[in-house]
Amino acid sequence: MHSLHPLFHPTSVALVGASSDPERIGGRPLRFMLEGGFEAPLYPVNRSGDTIQGLPAYASVRDIPHPVDHAIICVPVAGVEAAVRDSIAKGVKAIQVLTAGFAEVDAEGRALQDRIVGLCRDAGVRMVGPNSLGLLNVPTRFFATFSTALNGLTPRPGPIALATQSGAFGSAAYGAASLRGLGFSKIVATGNEADVDVSECIDYLVDDPDTRVICAALESCRDGDRLRAALLKAAHAGKPVVIMKVGRTELGAAAASTHTGSLAGDDAVYDTVFAECGAWRAASIEEMLDIAYLHSTAGQLPHNTDVGVVTGSGGIGILMADDAGERGLQLSPLPAAARTEALELLPFAVASNPLDMTAQVTSVPQGVPRTVALMLDRADYGTVFAYLAHVGLSPQRFTATQAELIALKQRHPQRLLVLVMLSRPEVNAALEEHGIAVFEDPSRAVQAVAALARVRQRRAALHQPPPPAGPSVPLGDVTTEDGAKRALAAAGLPVLPERICRSATEAAEAASAMGYPVVAKIVSPDIVHKTEVGGVLLNLPDAQAVAEGFATLMQRAQSARPDARLDGVLVAPMLKGGVELIAGIHRDPTFGPMVMFGSGGTAVELFKDVAFASAPLTPLRARALMERVRSTQLLRGWRGGPQYDEQALADALCRLSEFAFSHADQIESIDINPLVVRTQGAACLDAVIAVRAPVQGEGSHGTH
Amino acid sequence: MHSLHPLFHPTSVALVGASSDPERIGGRPLRFMLEGGFEAPLYPVNRSGDTIQGLPAYASVRDIPHPVDHAIICVPVAGVEAAVRDSIAKGVKAIQVLTAGFAEVDAEGRALQDRIVGLCRDAGVRMVGPNSLGLLNVPTRFFATFSTALNGLTPRPGPIALATQSGAFGSAAYGAASLRGLGFSKIVATGNEADVDVSECIDYLVDDPDTRVICAALESCRDGDRLRAALLKAAHAGKPVVIMKVGRTELGAAAASTHTGSLAGDDAVYDTVFAECGAWRAASIEEMLDIAYLHSTAGQLPHNTDVGVVTGSGGIGILMADDAGERGLQLSPLPAAARTEALELLPFAVASNPLDMTAQVTSVPQGVPRTVALMLDRADYGTVFAYLAHVGLSPQRFTATQAELIALKQRHPQRLLVLVMLSRPEVNAALEEHGIAVFEDPSRAVQAVAALARVRQRRAALHQPPPPAGPSVPLGDVTTEDGAKRALAAAGLPVLPERICRSATEAAEAASAMGYPVVAKIVSPDIVHKTEVGGVLLNLPDAQAVAEGFATLMQRAQSARPDARLDGVLVAPMLKGGVELIAGIHRDPTFGPMVMFGSGGTAVELFKDVAFASAPLTPLRARALMERVRSTQLLRGWRGGPQYDEQALADALCRLSEFAFSHADQIESIDINPLVVRTQGAACLDAVIAVRAPVQGEGSHGTH
């Protein structure tokens, strides 16, 4: 049994701080449950020990003369610790602390919060909150919340679950959903997440048989590994997670100090992790509910990204095609035989996809279902849309069509059938009962289908992180370019043959052995940005130029940074040709090492042509990362140019990601700029590794 | 009086093809008007000459024994021409042809359509249709349509007008709006637009006192100048036009043949023209209605793009801030004094912007209006949002707050006050009556405000095209690079000193006079893409190299294209430094010459870093065009580089646009690639001008 089970399935409940006033925070949960008809015993606890909303009340949880396995605590903050102790002593398995005034307020509050969660952990009791708006198990009418959103909006049972940190955000989504007639299985607001967090709720909801689709909302995430694991569990179980993440946590100043870090916005990392783990990030509450509605109605994801559109309006058909194209859906043409059939049925139709039935459809008996049948029977569209204007507002005119459409859906249970029309709630309900979804706005219908189709695609390439390796071997000195490159070369990345030289003679000899032209760069652990001190010389053509260059570089470095330790000059072959890209690592405080790959030159900053992926990469995921960067097109015979070595690039990204993952406790960031991809092979021409400052008392990148 | 007035304000109406069956196309308009209570005389015309829906009917319009100034024709297509003749003979001023089967079907239908529009024009009669769903003047209950969307959805009067080509699209928007309780002034479906088009309807609606905001939908546009003029008239009159354009017309093959053309997607041109003329392009019907609702309620545009957000939920506040930022709005901080006041009122508030009142607001008397008052009184936000959760669902709890908010709005009539909450229709109606808009979804509220704020911004830089010049002077021969550059230089564009040379000696002399290094290029009217024949030599260092280069170029050209006419070799100075950009002209078939400006190199294609503007440009509009291209950042000390000469670039774009506008009848496209911007000045390094193939019987780029 999942350890959160007692939170959602109490067999008897104490309400500590229950109020006789049904409008007060301590009164509302009791009122909601009494009005709703919650069937397990409810024991109000109140210092007065009087009767509360018609129930006998007790002065303490300890005084309840029956077993109690769940306590809802809403006493003032000063009384919470005692209430927790009493509840634990009474033997509860689950506690909700609805009272606010803990870690969200000050250090004292944090200390109190730490104490109560410590008490719960020691006792093996799971706790939601503090500062939680409560939780609901809708089918059992366990409405343990003080949200005023329940005033007049009694929760309806349904297959949608909602797990949110912010209670106010949860109330907003709950209210909007309820006004749309959507029903819920479980709702939980995790508040301060001292114990139970949204990730663990998702994990629980995946197992919940009443839940078909999970809506979630985060303001922050403390444990990236746990979130990943929960999302992956949902993806493997086939339950879509539609997730909102508002707010942006600040990137640490250190992370911003390298090029990579300044691009690795925390928010892009959330996008990346959600996609890798098969979830869908919604940008608005409305979008989240649209997707939840569609999936809870259809009960499945579309099996491909191909859609067929049947329409009575050419304009709406084109609008939907535009929307589909913009959101990654395809509209494959109707097969020729089906087009012929369509034209036999509707001679004036535009028998392509969208299939415009035109106004004549009204004069053909069962014109709509026969056209939809063609789309379903004669092609393999994962989703078929039918735009039916406002026919749903005239139920008597729609009865026969409705019956035929339901029969069609039953014949094609594996397809999504989505109607777009203005309609009455009872018409929609009849269709929804048979798995047919109805949208009023065509663009929103397409957007919801596109999201589910993408979720399906994502399941084909989930990122299942391996267990973190043990303590990693020491990195050695990676503070110089030479040291960084040696470490990368040892990890299997392509690095040119190059040598640190301590004298002009040694430099000239090394260059002659490599072949001209060469590059020469100053090497110093104290000089990270070599170009700023004039520390790089390109295209040196012969031994004399190299010898002179050595002297020049040493002299420039000494004069620019008199205190810098100078290790010598790095001599390397000068590459010509190839495509300059960048690759790197940014250690996200929540999600650990993220691989960054992007365009070289100005495009990375000017056009944000950069994408992220969690380390480590598989070859498949390295390729997927490359596809998300437009400059990857430059490798593929761009404007008649050559084909460059994509395999070498994918290999380099994999090696880089493995190196970063296995040294996650030591590396803050890596910046390979440029990474040159050639027609054969690739080369890291420059590399900077920033080592992680040891952090007192912190593990790797999350708690396990 | 506007010539469309008789279409919308008939004093007596003949319904030609009226039907006794209130469900048939010929029966519905009569039914809607009889049920709605249209007060002017209605005369059914039907071959049977019987009683129709209780009214005496006539066999012909000519038989009506009263004056008739408006005819609605819905007889079968074969009878339309006679009905039009009869109506004109009867003396009508306006005709609607609802019958389909004209230009949209075949050539015969087009010929018939041409005949009936000719009859109307000769008689000075304005015609809507054919193939129109009709039109409505809602306040007078002139419901002259057969749209079944009116079944059960009686039109409500209100300040929104709707002009659409497609009747089905119009019905969709009408139906969705009516279900939301929105009211209309006029609605018209222009159908085949043989006479009246959407542009002219917009022009009319600007003058209509019942209309405050105009919604429009186009599938195509035949007369770009007329659309521009109508949108500009609306912008100057302060009536927002929210416009949808679905479908994409095909770019001509010729337009795609140059680099410029292939980027000038027709759709981007519509985006450009709408923006230049102060309209807002909506991507969905829902978005269009949201904006129309907001403006029809608020009655004005926000006076700036700055918004204040008051919220009871931190999460929703952040969501709205994210939405605002993504859509070009600002959230300026609350002034320090106001922050202090806010904290005195609500000690635990997060007194920034968004201003999070937190749950404590419920315990402070009039906490919400006092907080909103701070935002309105102490800062200059054009719009103040208040997120109030679901309080509108409990009208009795909201009464006092509502009264205070209305008083606040009355004190600040020039500001937009937008509430985001779940609410009852009667609560919303009371607020809307006083100019306060209410949205259920926070993201949609922000989106609508952002659209209106952008409309306001656009009014500051409208593109008012000058009247087209008379017949332009001949261009001369612009088929060679040399000819094109001479034409551009004559138009005031910066071109380097360069010379066509006929011999190696002449080339060497020319180069020596210019200074080395130089560039040499083959000149031939038959060779457009010089690099394909190896026809360009860069960086020639001295006279000998130039002389040899001359021979090389002539020989390469002769061997690659034995039949090509060779005019010689162009010698020009070799530029170093500067930023490479591209500029050009694409003649859009609807909107005439469009200026294209974009990034040089691969970015223009890879990142679509290109923007368009209608010719001719003013200096202000040239700067605005530059701002829309991200590569313009490269001119501004990018990564410590120099400041380049933006003024020279803006001048060049203006000159180019004037040249193209004054030769609009002769130029198909111009492609300047690269246009190099230097620290002082700029230079067109290469230029291709494609001359327009003369088109039989066509004027310039539209009818005037």
Closest CA to B144 of B38, B62, B59, B216: B38
CB contact under 8 A, B443 and A606: no
Residue A268: is its pLDDT beyond 80? yes
Distances (CA, A) of A439 to A36, A179, A244, A593: 30, 15, 22, 41
pLDDT of residue A694: 65
pLDDT of residue B249: 30
pLDDT tens, A174-218?
999 999 999 999 999 999 999 999 999 999 999 999 999 999 999
Per-residue confidence at B254, pLDDT binned at 50, 70, 90? very low
pLDDT of residue A267: 80
CB contact under 8 A, B168 and A312: yes
CB contact under 8 A, B314 and A166: yes
Residue A536: is its pLDDT beyond 60? yes
CB contact under 8 A, A393 and B166: no
Contacts of B168 in chain A (CB under 8 A): 312-316, 359, 389
The DSSP 8-state label assigned to residue B148 in this structure reads G
pLDDT tens, B191-245?
999 999 999 999 999 999 999 999 999 988 889 999 999 999 999 999 999 999 8
Question: How far apart are the CA of B348 and the nearest CA of chain A, in angstroms?
Answer: 9
pLDDT of residue A257: 29
Q: Measured at the alpha carbon of residue B150, what is the angle toward residues B145 and B154, in degrees to the nearest 5?
A: 115
Query: Best interface-test mutation with A: which of B319, B439, B529 has the largest number of A CBs within 10 A?
Result: B319
Average pLDDT over residues B70-80: 96
CB contact under 8 A, A172 and B389: yes
Contacts of B285 in chain A (CB under 8 A): 319, 441-443
Question: Residues in chain B, how many?
Answer: 704
Tokens 């903050």 belong to residue: A77
Q: How many CB pairs under 8 A join A and B?
A: 170
**Could you give the angle at which helices A481-490 and A646-662 cross, rounded to 10 degrees?**
100
Per-residue confidence at A695, pLDDT binned at 50, 70, 90? low
CB contact under 8 A, A168 and B634: no
CB–CB of A181/A290 below 8 Å? Answer: no
Closest CA to A153 of A168, A169, A175, A171: A175
Residue A149 has its nearest CB partner, among B165, B390, B609, at: B390
Contacts of B105 in chain A (CB under 8 A): 348
pLDDT tens, B683-700?
999 999 999 876 544 444
Prediction pTM value:
0.92
Residue A358: is its pLDDT beyond 50? yes
Task: Give yes or no for a cis peptide into A616 (omega within 30° of 0).
Answer: yes
Distances (CA, A) of A627 to A304, A648, A653, B393, B495: 20, 15, 13, 48, 41
Question: How far apart are the CA of B386 and the nearest CA of chain A, in angstroms?
Answer: 14
Residue A248: is its pLDDT beyond 60? no
Average pLDDT over residues B517-539: 87
Q: Give dist(CA B61, CA B72) in Å, integer.
A: 11
CB–CB of B177/B73 below 8 Å? Answer: no
Provide the mean pLDDT of chain B: 91
pLDDT of residue B304: 96
Contacts of B390 in chain A (CB under 8 A): 148-149, 151, 153, 171-172, 175
Contacts of B359 in chain A (CB under 8 A): 100, 168
Residue A534: is its pLDDT beyond 50? yes
Nearest residue of chain B to residue A326 (CA atoms) = B283
Q: What percent of chain B has pLDDT over 70?
A: 95
Residue B589: is its pLDDT beyond 90? no
pLDDT of residue A152: 82
CB–CB of A316/A442 below 8 Å? Answer: yes
Residue A394 has its nearest CB partner, among B152, B165, B442, at: B152
pLDDT of residue B640: 84
User: Mean pLDDT lowest for which of A374-383, A604-613, B265-274, B569-578?
Assistant: B265-274
Distances (CA, A) of A41 to A7, A146, B648: 15, 19, 82
Nearest residue of chain A to residue B318 (CA atoms) = A247
Residue B172 has its nearest CB partner, among A313, A609, A639, at: A313
Burial of B544 (0-12, 13-18, 19+ CB in 10 A): exposed
Q: Provide ipTM, 2 decimals.
A: 0.91
CB contact under 8 A, B606 and A315: no
pLDDT tens, A440-462?
999 999 999 999 999 999 998 89
Per-residue confidence at A679, pLDDT binned at 50, 70, 90? very high
pLDDT of residue B694: 65
pLDDT of residue B9: 97
pLDDT of residue B248: 40
CB–CB of A122/A214 below 8 Å? Answer: no
Residue A606 has its nearest CB partner, among B284, B319, B631, at: B631
Average pLDDT over residues B659-688: 94
Contacts of B630 in chain A (CB under 8 A): 606-607
pLDDT of residue A701: 42
Tokens 């194209």 belong to residue: A325
Contacts of A100 in chain B (CB under 8 A): 359
Question: How far apart are the CA of A673 and the nearest CA of chain B, in angstroms?
Answer: 15
Contacts of A313 in chain B (CB under 8 A): 166, 168-169, 171-172
Residue B84: is its pLDDT beyond 90? yes
Per-residue confidence at B165, pLDDT binned at 50, 70, 90? very high
Average pLDDT over residues B252-280: 63
Question: How far apart are the CA of B13 and the nearest CA of chain A, in angstroms?
Answer: 26
Residue A28: is its pLDDT beyond 50? yes
Per-residue confidence at A325, pLDDT binned at 50, 70, 90? confident
CB–CB of A309/A353 below 8 Å? Answer: yes
Outline where A515-630 has alpha helix (H).
543-560, 603-606, 619-627
Residue B287: is its pLDDT beyond 90? yes
Lookup: tokens for A40? 């397990």
Neighbouring residues of A470: CB distance < 8 A, sequence distance ≥ 6 = none
Pairing of strands B355-356, B280-281: unpaired
Provide the mean pLDDT of chain A: 91
Closest CA to A689 of A426, A460, A493: A493
Distances (CA, A) of B129 to A459, A550, B149: 51, 83, 19
Question: How far apart are the CA of B504 and the nearest CA of chain A, in angstroms?
Answer: 32
Number of C-beta neighbours around residue B231 at 10 A:
27
Query: B85 or A351, which is more confident?
Result: B85
Question: How far apart are the CA of B150 and the nearest CA of chain A, in angstroms?
Answer: 10
